[in-house]
């Protein structure tokens, strides 16, 4: 059976072929497009945009759904015959069941075994409005945390392309840096002493800012309704809220009491000309690609917002051919001048003096430090008179540029 994603890709491919045929016909006959051809082109371009949006939407849903379907399989049989992976899967499933019971009914609604599992994965966080038995944050199950992370990637984009380091604790993470690109070897004459050239090392450090989902209140009736997949719904809400906050900082965070964004202090590779509108040209994109060293270009990609992509898709080369190359195959991204395009709406929209496009190897240019084990708090008594239970989740994360040579931006010129 043909999937919706494949049908959308086929539609996009057919539409793209129609647009190319309209252009090819006019070129063969050595004339401009007729009014009818222009109307057909505009209609096809609208269909192409709609199909591209469907493809992006369904690919994003497929990534989220792939994690949600990655359910743990519990092995049946003699426990002594289980391999380590089966035992871990069994333990993960048991903890997930305990966490689900805690989420719905609190600590008074779990079994003794489930209570022990939760307590073994707890961090003590005192909340004055909670009872002693519920004062603590419990680690979110691995598969549930994966769904939150996927949601964060869907809202941003950079998180999926950056170099993500996961650590067990939030202690400062230091690593050495070195830029030796200006140093070269030399020919050594016979009976001559080798010239010395020191290697200069620097250091960068990452902490761990605490991101919270803020408080979510749910009614007891909703929690007691077993037909409602509360864990999946609440996980999505937590992930969306944390994801929105993280996504904005990964792009343009100031670096003061928050992560430093990739675009914040990035070097401008190209500055556009003075224009009454926020314009970008074919030559600007070519210059942006070549503003980074070829060593990074193999894995490089454009980064822009949806508004920036819309601007770029209207560009054509000297022969009138669109620079945008829509994908017609599952798993193959659409391209701009042969390079993939990453969409992150945290990137500034095209405007005078705004850095609305970036290009480079993001994995080399940007590092994200994420502390393992996002946690959830359940407040049972604070909203008891409303017959409600409060929830909030939190994760710890920091990020900073790493190799500044691997990424450059395009900055629009001043307004005319």
List, for residues 186-232, the tens digit of each pLDDT value.
888 888 888 888 887 778 889 999 999 898 888 888 777 755 566 66
What was the pLDDT predicted at 381?
Answer: 81
Q: Looking at per-residue confidence, does 177 or 210 come out higher?
A: 210
| 40 is a domain residue | yes
Angstrom CA distances, 41 to 22, 87, 237, stand at 7, 59, 41
**Contact 208/377 with Cβ under 8 angstroms?**
no
Shared domain check, 150 and 59: no
**Contact 98/118 with Cβ under 8 angstroms?**
yes
For residue 245, what are the contacts with CB-CB under 8 A and spacing of at least 6?
211
pLDDT tens digits, residue range 92-108? 677 667 766 666 666 66
Rg of the chain over CA atoms, in angstroms? 27
Instruction: Calculate the CA dihedral of residues 131, 133, 135, 137 and round it to 10 degrees.
Output: -140
pLDDT at 118 over 70: no
| 121 is a domain residue | no
- Residue 310, domain CATH: 3.30.2400.10
What was the pLDDT predicted at 11?
Answer: 82
pLDDT tens digits, residue range 351-390? 999 999 999 999 999 999 988 767 777 787 888 888 888 8
3-class secondary-structure state, position 97? helix
| 112 is a domain residue | no
Shared domain check, 60 and 148: no
pLDDT at 111 over 70: yes
What was the pLDDT predicted at 222?
Answer: 77
CB atoms within 10 A of CB 120: 10
pLDDT at 30 over 60: yes
Q: Looking at per-residue confidence, does 236 or 316 come out higher?
A: 316
| 353 is a domain residue | yes
Residue 1 binned pLDDT confidence (cut-offs 50, 70, 90):
very low
| 62 is a domain residue | yes
pLDDT tens digits, residue range 129-159? 333 344 445 555 555 566 566 666 666 688 8
Residue 399 binned pLDDT confidence (cut-offs 50, 70, 90):
very high
- Short-list 374, 297, 372, 382, CA closest to 340: 297
Shared domain check, 262 and 153: yes
Shared domain check, 166 and 25: no
**Residue 54 lies in domain:** 1-71
Shared domain check, 147 and 60: no
What was the pLDDT predicted at 12?
Answer: 80
The angle subtended at Cα 242 by Cα 221 and Cα 128, nearest 5°, is: 60
What was the pLDDT predicted at 46?
Answer: 81
User: Is the CA virtual torsion 286, 292, 293, 299 positive or negative?
Assistant: negative
- 293/284 Cα distance (integer angstroms): 16
- Provide mean pLDDT across the span 311-319: 84
Shared domain check, 144 and 67: no
- Provide mean pLDDT across the span 11-20: 80
Shared domain check, 361 and 241: yes
3-class secondary-structure state, position 277? coil
Listed in sequence order, the DSSP H helices in 261-393 are 282-289, 294-297, 306-313, 362-365
| 231 is a domain residue | yes
Shared domain check, 151 and 23: no
**Domain stop point among 71, 92, 115:** 71
> In this structure, what are the phi and psi dihedrals at residue 217, rounded to the nearest 5 degrees?
-105, 130
Predicted TM-score of the model (pTM): 0.67
Token pair for 105: 């009914």
DSSP state of 290: T
Shared domain check, 244 and 151: yes
Residue 398 binned pLDDT confidence (cut-offs 50, 70, 90):
very high
- Short-list 407, 272, 265, 292, CA closest to 350: 272
**Contact 339/359 with Cβ under 8 angstroms?**
yes
Shared domain check, 144 and 59: no
For residue 66, what are the contacts with CB-CB under 8 A and spacing of at least 6?
none
DSSP for 182-249, written as a single string: T----PPPTT-PPPP-PPP-EEEEE--EEEE---EEEEHHHHH-TTS-HHHHHHHHHHHHHHHHHHHH
| 407 is a domain residue | yes
Tell me the residue ranges of DSSP E strands in 52-180: 122-123, 137-139, 163-167, 173-177
**Domain stop point among 15, 37, 71:** 71
What was the pLDDT predicted at 172?
Answer: 87
Q: For the chain, how many structural domains are there in total?
A: 2
What was the pLDDT predicted at 137?
Answer: 55
What was the pLDDT predicted at 70?
Answer: 40
Residue 406 binned pLDDT confidence (cut-offs 50, 70, 90):
very high
| 100 is a domain residue | no
Shared domain check, 400 and 319: yes
Residue 284 binned pLDDT confidence (cut-offs 50, 70, 90):
very high
Token pair for 6: 């494949």
Shared domain check, 147 and 224: yes
Pairing of strands 388-401, 209-212: antiparallel
**Contact 102/116 with Cβ under 8 angstroms?**
no
**Domain stop point among 71, 95, 119:** 71
What was the pLDDT predicted at 69?
Answer: 41
- Provide mean pLDDT across the span 316-343: 81
Residue 73 binned pLDDT confidence (cut-offs 50, 70, 90):
very low
- Provide mean pLDDT across the span 304-332: 83
Residue 177: beta bridge partners?
202
């Amino acid at each position: 059976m043909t999937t919706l994603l494949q049908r959308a890709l086929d539609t996009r491919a057919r539409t793209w072929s129609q647009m190319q045929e309209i252009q090819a016909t006019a070129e063969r006959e050595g004339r401009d497009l007729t009014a009818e051809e222009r109307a057909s082109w505009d209609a096809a371009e609208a269909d192409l945009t709609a199909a591209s949006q469907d493809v992006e939407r369904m690919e994003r849903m497929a990534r989220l759904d792939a994690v949600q379907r990655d359910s743990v399989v519990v092995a049946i049989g003699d426990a002594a015959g289980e391999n380590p992976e089966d035992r871990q899967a069994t333990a993960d499933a048991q903890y997930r069941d305990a966490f689900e019971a805690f989420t719905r009914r609190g600590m008074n609604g779990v079994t003794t075994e489930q209570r022990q599992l939760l307590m073994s994965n707890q961090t003590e966080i005192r909340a004055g409005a909670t009872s002693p038995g519920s004062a603590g944050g419990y680690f979110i199950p691995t598969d549930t945390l994966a769904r939150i992370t996927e949601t964060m990637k869907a809202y941003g984009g950079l998180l999926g392309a950056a170099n993500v380091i996961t650590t067990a604790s939030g202690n400062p993470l230091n690593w050495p840096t070195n830029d030796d690109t200006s140093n070269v070897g030399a020919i050594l004459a016979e009976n001559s002493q080798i010239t010395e050239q020191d290697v200069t090392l620097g250091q960068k450090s990452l902490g761990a800012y605490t991101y919270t989902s803020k408080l979510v209140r749910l009614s007891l009736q909703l929690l007691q309704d077993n037909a409602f997949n509360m864990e999946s719904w609440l996980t999505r809400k937590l992930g969306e809220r944390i994801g929105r906050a993280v996504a904005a900082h990964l792009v343009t965070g100031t670096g003061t009491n928050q992560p430093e964004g990739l675009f914040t202090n990035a070097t401008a590779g190209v500055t556009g000309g003075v224009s009454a509108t926020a314009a970008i040209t074919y030559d600007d994109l070519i210059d942006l690609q070549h503003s980074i060293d070829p060593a990074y270009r193999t894995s490089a990609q454009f980064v822009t917002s949806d508004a920036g992509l819309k601007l770029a898709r209207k560009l054509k080369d000297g022969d009138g051919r669109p620079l945008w190359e829509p994908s017609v195959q599952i798993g193959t991204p659409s391209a701009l001048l042969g390079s993939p395009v990453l969409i992150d709406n945290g990137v500034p929209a095209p405007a005078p003096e705004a850095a609305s496009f970036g290009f480079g190897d993001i994995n080399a240019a940007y590092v994200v430090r994420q502390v393992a084990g996002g946690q959830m708090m359940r407040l049972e008594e604070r909203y008891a008179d409303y017959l409600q239970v409060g929830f909030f989740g939190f994760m710890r994360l920091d990020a900073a540029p790493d190799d500044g040579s691997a990424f450059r931006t395009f900055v629009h010129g001043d307004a005319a």
